[in-house]
Structure 1
Amino acid sequence: MSLINSTVKPFKVNAYQQGKFIEVTDQDLLGRWSVIVFYPGDFTFVCPTELEDLADIYDQFQAIGCEVYGASTDSHFAHKAWHETSEAVGKVQYALLADMTQELSRNFEVLIEEDGQALRGSFVIDPEGKIRTIEVNDGGIGRNASELLRRVKAAQYITAHPGEVCPAKWEEGAQTLTPSLELVGKI
């Protein structure tokens, strides 16, 4: 069964953000758009490139009212050490969630049980705590933060404009579609 439109299950994890250890819960996701980006592990190879890509446009996510969270099964202590030693990860200003019990990864159905690591899963969550988009990649396939941002904007748009849909390659400001009998067979 797909997680699309399901509500995020309750969770509570430790995290590292901007020089501090904090706690993040499902309640922190409510009232604003959120993105959780799961990655396999700290001190790896593709992961820092993805976190840096997100860090480079984090301000664009914030500008549209969307908070970003990175998540792996590593500890918040490992997140701090990685942040302090990796030039790429050192750019990260969003919270890095420590899913040491693997409950969060299980809840989002990205945990590779035999490895104790998460797949590369990206989840866009609306202000009501419902999952609106999902992308899950194999460990060797990195994601594109700009595409994730585009998907957040599309989810925000269709939420604000019921009855409209965003076609392929839709970008903010582009034309949308209003499904109707008149459109059948004309696209």
Structure 2
Amino acid sequence: MSIINSQIKPFTAEAFHNGAFINVSDETLQGKWSVVFFYPADFTFVCPTELGDLADLYPEFQKLGVEIYSVSTDTHFTHKAWHDTSDTIKKIQYPMLGDPTHAISRNFGVLIEEEGLADRGTFVIDPEGRIQIVEITSGGVGRDASELLRKVKAAQYVANHPGEVCPAKWKEGEATLAPSLDLIGKI
């Protein structure tokens, strides 16, 4: 069963954010576009490259009204320790959620049960709390924040322009498609 357009399940979490511990829940995500970005663990190798890439583009996501939430099965205390010791992680200004109970990772279907770690999963959630984009990669394959930004822009465009769709490699300002009988077999 596809989870596209499904409502996110309830959750609560402690997060490290801008030097403080905060509470984040599914209700926190309501009313705005969100990216929930799962990664296996703090103090690893591919993870800081991805989180740093997101940190570099975070202002661009913010301009679109999008909040980023990174999530691993570490605690919020571990996130703070990593933030305090890594130059790459110090750049992060988005909330870093702890999921030591694995509840959030299970809710999103990315928990590797036998390891107690999350897969690399990216979920774009609309303001109504519905999942619009899902990407899951294996542990050794890092994700690209600029491609995620492009996909978020496409999802927002489609949400704001009923009857239009974004073709492959679509970039903001480029032509979209209006599906109709006239287009069948013409693309």
Amino acid at match of 1:128: E
* 1:80-139 CA-partner distances (Å, limit 9, x unpaired): 000010111110000000011101000100000000000000000000000000000000
The whole-number CA distance in structure 1 between the counterparts of 2:56 and 2:85 is 18
Q: Which residue of 2 aligns with 1:16?
A: 16
> 2:42 aligns to what?
42
Shift of 1:71: 0.3
Q: How many residues align?
A: 187
Provide Cα deviations, 1:12-69, integer angstroms capped at 9, x if missing partner. Answer: 0000001000000000100000000000000000000000000001000000000001
Show structure 1 runs of 5+ residues with no match. none
TM-score by length of 1: 0.99
1:122-157 CA-partner distances (Å, limit 9, x unpaired)? 000000000000000000000000111111111100
Aligned residue in 2 for 1:88: 88
Distance 1:39 1:109 in 2: 13
Runs of 4 or more above 6 Å deviation: none
Q: Give the C-alpha shift of residue 2 in structure 1.
A: 1.6
5+ residue gaps, structure 2: none
How much has 1:77 moved relative to structure 2?
Answer: 0.3
User: Identity across aligned pairs (percent)?
Assistant: 64
Residue number in structure 2 paired with 1:163: 163
Distance in 2 (alpha carbons) for counterparts of 1:30 and 1:151: 20
TM-score normalised over the length of structure 2: 0.99
Paired residue secondary structure (2:53): helix
Report what 1:98 is aligned to: 98
Q: Which residue of 1 aligns with 2:31?
A: 31
Q: Post-superposition shift, 1:3?
A: 1.1
**How does 1:1-187 map onto structure 2 within 5 Å?**
1-187=1-187
What is the distance in 2 between the residues matched to 1:93 and 1:2? 32
Q: What SS class does the counterpart of residue 109 from structure 1 fall into? A: coil
